[in-house]
A and B are shown apart, each in its own frame.
Chain A
Amino acid sequence: MAFDSLPLNLTKLQGAVPVWRAVAAPADLPGLCQAVKNQGGRLVALWGTDERDRGQGYALQLALAKPEGMLWLRADLPAGAPRYPDVSTIFYPAGRMQRAARDLLGIDADAADRRPWLRHTAWPDTEYPLRRDVAAAAVFDQCRDDYAFVSVIGDGVHEIPVGPVHAGTIEPGHFRFSIVGEKVLRLEERLGYTHKGVDKLFQGMPFAAGAALAGRVSGDSSVAYAWAYCMALESIAGVVPPARALWLRALLLERERIANHLGDLGYLGNDGGLAFGLAQFMRLKEDVLRMNAKLFGHRYLMDRIIPGGVACDLERAAMNAIGDECNLLEREVRLLKDIYDDHSGLQDRFLTCGRLTPGTAEKLGVIGLAGRASSQAWDLRAQARPAPYDLLETRMKTHKNGDVAARVNLRFEEIFESLRLARAVIERIAPGEIAAPLPAVPAGGLGLGWAEGWRGESVVALEAGQDGRIRSCHAHDPSWQNWPALAFAVFNNIVPDFPLINKSFNLSYSGCDL
């Protein structure tokens, strides 16, 4: 077992991915986290839940991963003074998650950074909207915003504040650059602008509606989130979706990856000064989206994954059409890759730009696509391998350079791998049901879903409530881990390269603003 050397009472949850539950004392958390880290593990997510309606206090929840599976830890905190020891000194990404948990629930890590994260002006620091005694419809007066950015002082150092409304068609966030000349000395990110109260919305929602909401945590990763959510729910219900449904889910997830990678490769070419690339790749992406609309009924495949299975089936002719499309894409993308590779002006922008060394990436716990471009070998499809990936033998790709060029090359390679997987699905899929009925789900049941989206892992932790409704649900985006890494990647680069570096990460705002 992956975590059996830890001094914990482990309970294995049934389900598509190996997940163990355990309860720990808050004081033991740093020791446990350090032990997991020493064994090559990492922190996936940290959040809190309000358990006072059960006569308890609050619960701090941690998800820790090793390649073999996930450890879901709970630490009970008293209702009176809910405090716990800081783990951000062990796992760097914990810092912002701890701040978010305090903003929403009032549980406090004894950490050095006392600044809010998700709380801007919409509620005061005496209110905690995720507490069960605060109504979802509660409205607070706008408060004063006096966020303290870290200032860099020295001869010729000045600041460029950017956002929340950015110059391009992208999500809102604030970047504070401290620069000297055109060189970036420090980038400080401030996010949380798209906070929509997702955790609060989940509470009391019927299970089916929860799948739709999960699919809108981050619109470009709708399939990954919907799958993770349904995986969690099916784990609680003890349901295994029919084989055909699982194959179709994998097909949907790989198509989501292909579409996003195509779009990113277009924009990366464009940001590197090659508008040709944007036109070519966006043409291919549009072709994929149109095929999605035609075969699955939605350009971005939203609401296609439902609890128990999938909402759409494919006829043989449609499978053949996908096979032809894969062959065409393979040919076109290889041609465009040759053009990108041979374009000295473009490679000059890509190579050594925005470098995140494997050492820094490891310290920061960087994952997903950006992690793999810096030697962080995490890919759920090749490791814990939830069905049907247990039958697919996904070839994980990694690079060690960690620059824009590595993230570009990785996208090319992952497109080819996804095309291979899509073809394999079409070859192996057999006729059958596409959804299993969901039996009554026991109240208090716990489930965790884990899916390798195009950006990285989407994780959904779910607790069932009464009458087919959600008691609590938390969705975790890989961008939590990777946003801090962007600030390191941009260090010592010039400001005009920031858009290119940023695009090469292409992180989600909505996914971690929740």
Chain B
Amino acid sequence: MYQLLKQIATVGIKTEAPPAAEEAMRELSQRLREDILGLFAGSLAIRHVDAGSCNGCELEIHMLNNPYYNIEGLGIKLVASPRHADLLLVTGPVSRNMEIALKRTYDAVPDPKLVVAVGDCGCSGGIFGESYASRGRVSNVIPVDVAVPGCPPTPVALMQGILTAISLNGRRDG
């Protein structure tokens, strides 16, 4: 237990709110926090759906929760059920084998709901495109509010995508 506590104390807080070097990121965090406070009463619940991805985008979504990006600290939580979610984060070209599951997950999210399509595949079908097995981009299957390109998109790009989706919602409601 001593080692564990010592390690926590030694490592300290790694969450980034750095000055010059990562200025863009710091601003993003602040704006994100304000928007979430304003629109979602301080809490945004996200449900992730892998609709056929290669698992690359999932790796970066995992990293959103590491101490550097710490999205839970911003009031964003990845939740276990679409019924608990405000926003769907959808990766992959939509495989035909996942098409029904994706539609049902979308239907299970209560209104008003937001959808962020993640990665080159989610945006355009990417390297997999459309075929006998793939429906291609996410918007071919469910309505998409924001698409975040990248193979895979970085955690910062993902945070920007989420922010953009929330702002869209503000405009739509306003």
Contact = CB atoms under 8 A, between A and B. Distances in A.
B154 interface: yes
Contacts of A217: 54
Nearest to B3: A339
Contacts of B35: none
A164 B7 contact: no
B131 A193 contact: no
Contacts of A302: 56, 151
Contacts of B54: 216-219, 510
A263 B81 contact: no
Interface string B83-105: 00000000011011111110001
Given A283-B66, A335-B7, A197 B59 contact: no
Interface stretch (B24-32, B44-52, B164-172): B44-52
A339 B80 CA distance: 29
B95 A165 contact: no
Contacts of B68: 283, 286
B133 A129 contact: yes
Interface residues of A, number: 61
Interface residues of B, number: 51
B70 to A, nearest CB: 9
Contacts of B129: 201
Given A121-B100, A218-B54, A218-B55, A165 B133 contact: no
A122 B133 contact: yes
Contacts of A168: 80
B58 A170 contact: yes
B56 A219 contact: yes
A171 B53 contact: yes
A342 interface: yes
A214 to B, nearest CB: 10
A164 B101 contact: yes
B132 A286 contact: no
Contacts, number: 166
Interface in B109-145: 127-134
Nearest to A508: B55
B65 A282 contact: yes
Contacts of B42: none
Interface string A272-307: 000010011011011001000000000110100000
B4 A200 contact: no
Contacts of B41: none
A30 to B, nearest CB: 32
Contact of A200 (B78, B95, B131, B154): B131
Contact of B11 (A194, A280, A509): A280
Contacts of A343: 4
Given A121-B97, A280-B11, A216 B127 contact: yes
Contacts of B51: 172
A213 B57 CA distance: 15
A13 interface: no
Contact of A219 (B8, B99, B152): B152
B67 A282 contact: yes
A196 B63 contact: no
A338 B14 contact: no
A169 B133 contact: no
A134 interface: yes
B117 to A, nearest CB: 16
A192 interface: yes
Contacts of A122: 95-97, 132-133
B163 interface: no
Interface stretch (A70-78, A135-143, A428-436, A484-492): A135-143
Given A121-B97, A169-B62, A172-B101, A196 B134 contact: yes
B61 interface: yes
Most buried by B among A118, A171, A220, A508: A171
A170 B57 CA distance: 10
B132 A129 contact: yes
Contact of A300 (B53, B56, B101): B56
7 contacts: A167-B80, A196-B93, A219-B58, A220-B59, A276-B8, A289-B63, A510-B53
